[in-house]
Each structure stands twice: as structure tokens, then as C-alpha cells.
Structure 1
Amino acid sequence: MTTVVVAGNPKPASRTLDAATRLATELTGRPPDAVVDVITLGPGLLGWGDERVSDAVRTVASADLVVVASPTFKATYTGVLKLFLDQFATAEGLRGVVAVPLMLGAGPSHALAPDLLLKPVLVELGASTPAPGLYLRDSSYATDGTIGEYVERWGPALRVLAARAAADRAPRD
């Protein structure tokens, strides 16, 4: 099973990236196979055809499980993440990928943002999002146990579906 983390924070090496990596690691029992820290792709996100951006898109599209993370900006996900998601050329760009929307924020007022705002975009791109999105408080995600609780509740189903996606992608003799 191939696992990828996508972090759409305007700051490189952010808490968003850390939280997404922690979630992916707890879901699978190992670090993600690849990490896309979107902001490091630079100005190539503003157009089409940039080789680094295209490579990142292919990496995400070939994943079995992807954690897509953003801080909450103006009650939604970041423009940087939107620029990256716009690079998927078709509505089937994430077909066969199991996706987990993850957002961080300062308080509980935006707790529904992963499901109301990020999840629909991932579904529109063809991803399966069988579990609720996860909202974490940016000041306590590393210590409050929320990631562990989420993994305990939703991890078994996500792992089964991601393994099935991996099997579906495997070459057949």
C-alpha cells in the first residue's frame, strides 16, 4: 500500500505537514512513502506543465492512501492547496485513491471544514473519502490524542479500502 501526504500550508515544514505525517504514520504503522509539501513547488503551481508539479501530481494520483492537509484560512483550505489540486487535469485524477481530508485550526469553530470544504473537492477529483475528515487544534494536535482516537475508529476501514485500491492497481498476470 502506497501512502502519500499532501500539505498545503504557505509555510514549508509546517505543523500541518507534521500533523498529516503523524496521521499517515499512525494509519499505516510506517512513515508515508512520499510527502508533497506544496509550497516547496513554488511558482510552477501558477501554470501548467511544470515538471516538479507534474511529478507531484503523478505521485499523489498513484497513491492508495493520501492524507490531504491544510490549515484553516478564512474558514476554508488554503489557496496554495487549491493551486495544487487544480493541477489534476480531470475529474478522475484521484480515481482509485482513498483520501483523508485533514485541517488544522485555532479553535473548534471550523471543525466541520474538512467535511464541508475539503472533502467535496477530493471527491470531485475522483477520490474515495469513506471516513469523516479530521479537524485538529493546531496548538494541541501532537499531545491531545485526537489522531489516535481517529485512527482507532476509522483506521481499520481506511486500511482495508486502501489495500483494496492497491490490489486493484496491481498488474495482473
Structure 2
Amino acid sequence: MKLATIYGSPTPPGKLARALGLIEDDVRTRYPTWSVDRVAPTNSVGPVVATWDEDAVERIGDADAVVISSPVFRGSITGTLKLLIDMLPNEALRSKPVGILTVAAAPHHFLSAERHLRDVLAWFGALAAPNAAFFVDKTFGAEHVADDVVEELREFADQVVVLAEQLKGRGFGPDPLTVRYSKKSQG
């Protein structure tokens, strides 16, 4: 099975990438039948936006589960991540377990990006994992990441992997509104 992780930041890898890397390493170690594919932007257009390779959509669509990660930027996800989401067809996330990982500079941002992503994931008909992972960026600034943080990331990864293994690609209906209305307009 395959886990696609999305690094939704336009900036070079830092604290968010470290958190995502801990999840990826954990899945590779504890779930040897799983492969992990990090999808990351490639061309930075500045400190706010970066672009994605042409194969990003296909790589996400081919995955059995997805972890979306984003720094909290102005109370939401980054424009870079929004660009990728706008490129995805409905089928890329439909009935697929998706975990949400966010990192912010302050604890009072703990629900902002998650809330926005949950709304977008509902539009796709994705299966948002019940518990998101949120951390303040200084959590990953020290040389050693605290054991309780590593355990929380492990539990976060478990829910996404276990959901995917239990579902085994099963689809769920009814179709999301976007699919129903696009079918009506075509028919």
C-alpha cells in the first residue's frame, strides 16, 4: 500500500518537514508493506508561493492514504497547498483516508488551517482522519524531539494507515455535491 505525504510549504524544509519526516520514517519502520512518497513543491516563486511538478496529482491519486501538512499562514493553509488542491480531480481524494498535520508559530492557531482543510476534504468526499496533528513550531526546533511528541505522531500515522488497511479501497456514497451537480449538468 502507498502513503502520499504532502509538504504544503513554499519555503525550504524546516520544522514542518521534520514533523512530516518523523511520520514517514515511522510508517516505513512499522508498516513494511507500505511505501511512502513525499509530494513537495519544486519551484519557489518567492517566500509565499511555489509550484508543483506535473506528476503531483497522479502520485496523490495513486496513494491509498494521504497526509496533508501545512504551516499555518495567516490563519489558514498556504497558497502553495491551495494551488495543489485546486489541481486535484475529485477522484484523487474520494473515499481516501486523509490525515491533517499543521504547524504554527502560536498555539491559538490550532484549529484554523485544520478547519479549512476539513471543509475542502468534505468537498472531495475524502475520509478525513478523526484526529489531526497540530504542533507549535518550536516543538521541532530542538535537536531532540520529545518522546510524547513522537508518540503523538505515531498515533496520528496509525489512524491513517489503519483506516486505509481496513477500507481496502472501498468507496462510500452518496457522491459529494460537486460530483452530483456536475453529473446533472452533463446529463
Q: What band does the TM-score fall into relative to the shorter chain?
A: 0.7 to 0.9
Distance 1:41 1:120, change over 3 A: farther
Question: How many angstroms does 1:11 deviate by?
Answer: 1.0
2:165 pairs with 1:163: yes
- Equivalent residues of 1:61, 1:94 under 8 A apart: yes
- Equivalent residues of 2:72, 2:113 under 8 A apart: no
1: CA distance, partners of 2:71 / 2:35: 20
1:81 corresponding residue in structure 2: 81
Larger Rg: 2
Q: 1:22-65 CA distances to partner (integer Å, 9 max, x unpaired)?
A: 12333562685211112x1567x77xxx8x32x11111111112
1:148 corresponding residue in structure 2: 151
Partner of 1:33, secondary structure, is strand
2: CA distance, partners of 1:126 / 1:14: 31
Q: Residue type matched to 2:166 in 1?
A: R
Aligned length: 160
Matches within 5 A, 1:1-173: 1-27=1-27, 29=30, 33-38=36-41, 40-41=42-43, 52-53=53-54, 55-90=55-90, 92-141=91-140, 143-144=145-146, 145-152=148-155, 154-166=156-168, 168=170
Distance 1:42 1:155, change over 3 A: closer
Partner of 1:139, secondary structure, is helix
Q: Residue type matched to 1:97 in 2?
A: K
Question: How many angstroms does 1:133 deviate by?
Answer: 1.4
- Equivalent residues of 1:103, 1:135 under 8 A apart: yes
2: CA distance, partners of 1:114 / 1:65: 20
Distance 1:58 1:146, change over 3 A: same
Distance 1:113 1:133, change over 3 A: farther
1: CA distance, partners of 2:168 / 2:68: 18
2: CA distance, partners of 1:167 / 1:60: 14
Distance 1:14 1:36, change over 3 A: farther
Q: Share of identical aligned residues, percent?
A: 26
2: CA distance, partners of 1:95 / 1:101: 16
Distance 1:98 1:81, change over 3 A: same
Q: Residue type matched to 2:163 in 1?
A: L
2:182 corresponding residue in structure 1: none
- Aligned-CA RMSD value: 2.7
Question: How many angstroms does 1:164 deviate by?
Answer: 3.1
- Equivalent residues of 1:114, 1:135 under 8 A apart: no
User: Which 5+ residue runs of structure 1 have no aligned equivalent?
Assistant: none
